[in-house]
Amino acid sequence: MNQNNNLPQARKPIQISKAPEPITPLSGRHSYRPPAKAIKQPIDWKHWIHMPLKPWEAVALSLNINPENMTHHPQSWMGSGVHFTNDSFPIREAETEFTKRLELLKRNLYDRTYFLGHDGLVTMQAFAAWCAHIGYINLPPELVAAKPPPVAAPAQTPATPAPVETVGASDGVGPDKAGPVEDGLLTKEIAVTFDGVNGWSADRWPKNLSGSHWLHPARKARGTAGGASAVWDPLVLAQLIHGETNGDKAKEQVMKAFHSRFNRNPVLIPWRDAFNEYFATYCTSD
């Protein structure tokens, strides 16, 4: 009989794992949650109508895309121009059309028939007129409404020939006729109201309105030879001159001059609130 069977058996040593402790999942406010998908916001046209636009913002609005919903591509800094992620566009065709329109607009920014050619910004009114000139269709109605109205043909009768326009009269230098003016001020009213603004006297304003094509997006209606004066939107005039002025200090000075006129002259009451909103956005006041 083997006596070793009665001896206690030696225990094997306990093996201790060298692996790290298991990870305990986080919970509560520290737990991982995938980022929520941004909600697309509708276009606030009342905001954009008073905003000097970057070219890509204007083109986006022409496609009924809210610029605030667009996302710059994270690698766009590596190349020239502006680039956006695919989800910035509702469909692929919209992205293609956006690229084409943006390139065309950038090459036409110095066409002073429509644009200021300064700071690379455009007004909604000037851009809308340019879109109509290019022939874009299916534009948002809010953008179409921003375009200056077409010039109405003067009434003709068999006994009276149609009045002939001249350069001076068509821009409001000729005599004014009394009567209601729709959504604007006559040339002489603009000259008196803005006398001294931008260094322009009341005598100089009519000449500058006539000869400066970059101011014409603010013209609501032409005048006629020996007849009615041209009609101007004073708010758009202020925005155009603000955009054309060089230097932050000079811009602030000219806008403070406009601010004084809009808030003290009763004739400008219909445009006062819109101007003050624009002023608060782009200017500072002591």
Quick check: 234 and 263 in contact, CB under 8 A? Answer: no
pLDDT at position 173 over 80 = no
Question: 136 and 195, same structural domain?
Answer: no
**Residue 271 placed within a domain:** yes
Residues 120-160: tens digit of each pLDDT: 788 898 899 999 989 998 899 999 888 776 544 444 544 44
Question: 202 and 120, same structural domain?
Answer: no
Question: 197 and 92, same structural domain?
Answer: no
Residues 239-283: tens digit of each pLDDT: 889 888 888 888 888 889 999 999 999 889 888 888 888 888 777
Question: 225 and 138, same structural domain?
Answer: no
Question: 96 and 64, same structural domain?
Answer: yes
| Last-in-domain residue among 117, 146, 175 | 146
Question: 54 and 88, same structural domain?
Answer: yes
Portion of the chain with pLDDT greater than 70, in percent: 71
Quick check: 255 and 283 in contact, CB under 8 A? Answer: yes
Under the banding of pLDDT at 50, 70 and 90, the label for residue 61 is very high
Which of 17-21, 210-214, 237-241 ranks highest by mean pLDDT? 237-241
Task: Give the single-character DSSP code of 84.
Answer: B
**Residue 128 placed within a domain:** yes
**Residue 151 placed within a domain:** no
Cβ contacts of 217 within 8 Å, gap of 6 or more: 114, 123, 125, 126, 129, 148, 236, 240
Q: Which domain, by its residues, includes 131?
A: 45-71+82-146
Question: 269 and 188, same structural domain?
Answer: yes
Average pLDDT, the chain: 78
Count of structural domains, the chain? 2
Q: Which of helix, strand or coil describes residue 72?
A: strand
**Residue 40 placed within a domain:** no
Question: 276 and 175, same structural domain?
Answer: yes
Portion of the chain with pLDDT greater than 90, in percent: 27
Per-residue pLDDT, 36: 57
Per-residue pLDDT, 223: 77
Q: What is the mean pLDDT of residues 46-66?
A: 92
**Residue 162 placed within a domain:** no
Question: 180 and 90, same structural domain?
Answer: no
Under the banding of pLDDT at 50, 70 and 90, the label for residue 21 is confident
**Residue 13 placed within a domain:** no
Residues 218-243: tens digit of each pLDDT: 888 887 766 778 899 998 899 889 88
Question: Model pTM?
Answer: 0.44
Question: 206 and 251, same structural domain?
Answer: yes
Phi, psi of 9, deg, nearest 5: -80, 140
**Residue 161 placed within a domain:** no
**Residue 36 placed within a domain:** no
